[in-house]
Amino acid sequence: MDDYGSVALARLLADCTDAVRATHAQYGDATAQVAPARIGELLRFLRDDAECAFEMLTDLTVVDRGDVAAPEARFEVVYHLYSVSKNHRVRLKVGVAADAPAVASAVGLYASANWMEREAFDLYGIRFDGHPDLRRILLADGFEGHPLRKDFPKTKRVPLDGPER
Partner 1 sequence: MAGPTNACSADRAPGAAGRDFDRERRRLELDPSHPATHGSLKFTLELTGETIADLDVRIGYLHRGFEKECESRGWAQAIPYTDRLDYHSAILANLGFCLAVEKLMGLETSPRSRWLRVLGCEISRVGDHLLRCGSACHELGALPESLAAIEARERVADLQEALCGARVTANYVRIGGVRRDLPADFRAAGEVLLPKIRALLGDMDAAVHRNPVLLARLRDTGVLSRQDCLRYAVTGPILRAAGEPLDLRKQQPYLTYDEIDFDVPVGSVGDNYDRYLVCVAEARESLGIVEQCLARLERLGPQPIAGAVFDDPVRGPTVAAGEAYTAIESANGELGFYLVSDGSERPVKVRCRPPAFLHLAALPEMLREAKLADLVPTFELLNAVGGECDR
Binding residues for partner 1 (CB under 8 A): 2, 4, 26-27, 29, 31, 55-59, 61, 63-65, 68, 78, 80, 82, 84, 87, 89, 91, 110-112, 114-116, 119, 123, 136-140, 147-148, 154, 165
For the CB of residue 123, give the shortest distance to partner 1 in the complex, in Å: 8
Q: Between residues 23 and 61, which has the closer beta carbon with respect to partner 1?
A: 61
For the CB of residue 100, give the shortest distance to partner 1 in the complex, in Å: 22
CA distance 140 to 66: 25
Q: Between residues 17 and 155, which has the closer beta carbon with respect to partner 1?
A: 155
The residues, any chain, with a CB within 8 Å of residue 39's CB and separated by 6 or more, are 77, 79, 92, 94, 103, 104, 106
Any idea how long the chain is? 165
C-alpha dist (Å) from residue 21 to 63, 74, 87, 142? 18, 16, 25, 38
For the CB of residue 143, give the shortest distance to partner 1 in the complex, in Å: 10
CA distance 15 to 9: 10
Nearest Cα neighbor of 33 from 100, 90, 88, 113 is 90
For the CB of residue 113, give the shortest distance to partner 1 in the complex, in Å: 9
Q: Can you tell me whether residue 14 is helix, strand or coil?
A: helix
For the CB of residue 52, give the shortest distance to partner 1 in the complex, in Å: 14
Q: Between residues 14 and 22, which has the closer beta carbon with respect to partner 1?
A: 22
Q: Between residues 17 and 26, which has the closer beta carbon with respect to partner 1?
A: 26
